[in-house]
Structure 1
């Protein structure tokens, strides 16, 4: 007569279990790590672009007319981009100056950044980082 139950596995029978479990979990772990690297780098660059826009708007306050404000903001953004690890030729800068506000818009293209090469594997963040800063002029 045959038995319908089996004996519990011994330690010798479980030698490959850890390797199989790792093989099942490793792809998910690697994807999560790549996502953290890609988005962490993107957030770092987005924060740097926001800093450029904010400081460019503050620098523009010293200008007496819209043309001088534009020149001051642009020169500040170009000069400070390298200090933040960004390339100034990838940034496009728009300065709007009215009697009430100075608005500095900075758009930074990260399409060719090495970090974005990893974004083919994970969902990609936007390839153009757009940030704006506004400074009010008087009338508080």
Structure 2
């Protein structure tokens, strides 16, 4: 046997033993899947925070409208809403009270209804740090709540 044949046989034996060897396959699979998994996890967290903030704004509008029902006239109701927002907005998850704009007024459609509309600037939420190619929601969260005042 010449040295080339010995070397070729040795190489074939090594390659066949590598094919049967499963050590390290988990590390390779992890290296392929970990970045995708982390991207999905961070994306779900960022979108979850955004949806949590949107829900908090809706809940804040509903609670402010329920508070406004105690007012005797439109001015009283507006003061009650302003007071409620200033004292309680910080208690809602993911909401910065300084970024809230509130419009509280009688409904244009029905004089027996009072409307609380809230706009929230959501630019500081972590969702905007994700990939720019992803579909993104609006940077302003706008929610409103209407409540019927007394009577029928």
TM-score band w.r.t. shorter chain:
0.7 to 0.9
Does residue 17 of structure 1 match 2:25?
A: yes
Provide structure 2 residue ranges, at least 5 long, that are not aligned to the other structure. 1-14
SS in 1 for 2:72: coil
Listed as ranges, the matches of 1:1-140 within 5 Å are 9-11=19-21, 14-85=22-93, 86-98=95-107, 99-113=111-125, 115-120=126-131, 123=134, 124-140=136-152
Contact 2:67–2:81 (CA under 8 A) maintained in structure 1: yes
Which runs of at least 4 in structure 1 moved beyond 4 Å after TM superposition?
A: none
Structure with the greater alpha carbon radius of gyration? 2
Tell me, in whole angstroms, the C-alpha distance in 2 between the residues paired with 1:132 and 1:43.
16
Aligned-pair Cα RMSD in Å: 2.2
Q: 1:91, CA displacement in angstroms?
A: 0.4
User: For 1:1-50, what per-residue CA distance to the aligned partner results, in whole angstroms no more than 9, with x for missing partners?
Assistant: xxxxx957222xx3232222112211211111011110111121111111
TM-score normalised according to structure 1 size? 0.81
Aligned residues: 132
Q: 1:132, CA displacement in angstroms?
A: 1.0
